Amino acid sequence: MKAAVIVFPGSNCDRDIQVAIEQSTGQPCAMIWHKETSLPRLDLIVVPGGFSYGDYLRSGAMAAHSPIMRAVKAEADRGVAVLGICNGFQVLTEAQLLPGVLMKNRDLRFICRDVDLRVEATDTVFTRRYRKSQVVRFPIAHNDGNYFADAETLKALEGEGRVAFRYCDPQGNITEAANPNGSLNNIAGILNAKRNVLGMMPHPERLADMLLGGIDGRPMFDGLVEALAA
């Protein structure tokens, strides 16, 4: 599987996701600087977490207009898998590769802790190694993770099974108390209509090795290799 990580000024999770991907693929993962204007043939593009451009203006807003994002959009339209994590999710919404917006957390505070997630969609290259309704534990670390979309968009996401992950309690119940940031319908991750673009606020790469304290994130990368390796 040929994979690449897009690097913006301010990215701070780019090396973490590179390690997680290389652990699963056993192959080098390319790092692409945001000023590049083209991409090689790839099976997976990752827009990583971090604070692109220092989150100036609005999280992900400036990165969405980086030269490389035109190439990312073109590859996504061609069907290449694109994964956006945390700030990467914000970039993908700002670039209109995914619908909705990520607003300030409900309590207006930065949140950094592990959360429980319920897997809602398993018919994707990103989630095929998980079971439907499985509860997994991923870390979050964000100030702007409060997912919002208008009523029509939300209806489409729910009706088309495009919610990939929801915040839940350890038993898998979707409750307000388990919602860390105020996201509509406890949404933690969504898919585009073609299901080849996933944006999610939690960080699977931060629990992809027992040395990190858990491996709930590892099936995502192993599943991508299984699905995309030629």
Please give the model's pTM, rounded to 2 decimal places. Answer: 0.96
52-56, 73-77, 165-169, 220-224: least confidently modelled range: 52-56
Among the listed residues 211, 225, 218, 201, the one whose alpha carbon sits nearest the alpha carbon of residue 84? 201
Catalytic residues: 86, 203, 205
The predicted-structure confidence for 142-166, as pLDDT tens digits, reads as follows 999 999 999 999 999 999 999 999 9
What is the arithmetic mean of pLDDT over 51-56?
92
Q: Tell me the pLDDT of the chain averaged across its residues.
A: 97
**Nearest-CA neighbor of 42 among 15, 11, 91, 82?**
82
- 160: tokens are 């088309």
Summarize pLDDT for 7-19 with one digit per residue, the tens.
Answer: 999 999 999 999 9
pLDDT attached to residue 229: 85
pLDDT attached to residue 230: 63
Mean pLDDT of 99-116: 97
Angle between helices 14-25 and 218-228 (to 10 degrees): 60
Average pLDDT over residues 164-186: 98
Which pLDDT tens digit goes with each residue over 111-123? 999 999 999 999 9
pLDDT, residue 201, reads 98
Task: Output the CA–CA distances (angstroms, integers) from residue 141 to 65, 67, 136, 138, in the order listed.
Answer: 24, 27, 16, 10
% of the chain with per-residue pLDDT over 90: 98
